[in-house]
Structure 1
Amino acid sequence: MIRRRTAAAVGVLALAATALLTACGPNSGAASGSPKDDSAQVQQYQQAVDAAESAAAQAESDAAGDE
């Protein structure tokens, strides 16, 4: 049961990261800004992905501790 919850949590995090990156990508409809703006946007994406990976790792660690 806990493995299912962990798998579901990891799946949700992956989907959220994908949706975030897709919705905010270069074809999202916004006008292209300066390279400085692009760099800041890439940094924000990387932070979001890092946070999702960290949450997934924590969920896996919690699931392993429950066994």
Structure 2
Amino acid sequence: MIRARHAGVAAGAAVLLLLTACGSHGDNTQSPAPASSTDLTHLQKLVEDAESAASSAESDMARE
């Protein structure tokens, strides 16, 4: 159960990263809007935290 939750967090962070990278999709938009470096840094930290949590959960499950 914990592993599934951590996998969900990691997947959610990946979706956020993809959505940010896509930018806005208005009718007059020819290319995606670039994400700010602050946004990318924040999302990268979210992904790293999710991966760390998933790794910790896997270690805990292996000990049980």
**TM-score of the two chains, using structure 2 as the length reference:** 0.64
- Bigger RCO of structures 1 and 2 (CA < 8 A, at least 6 apart): 1
The Cα of 1:18 is off from its aligned counterpart by 1.9
Whichever structure has more helix as a proportion of its residues is 1
Residue correspondences, number: 58
Runs (4+) off by over 4 Å = none
Q: Alignment RMSD, CA only?
A: 2.5
**TM-score of the two chains, using structure 1 as the length reference:** 0.62
The one-letter code of the counterpart of 2:19 is: A
- Give identity over the alignment, percent: 31
Gaps of 5+ in 2: 26-31
Gaps of 5+ in 1: none
2:54 is paired with a residue of what secondary structure?
A: helix
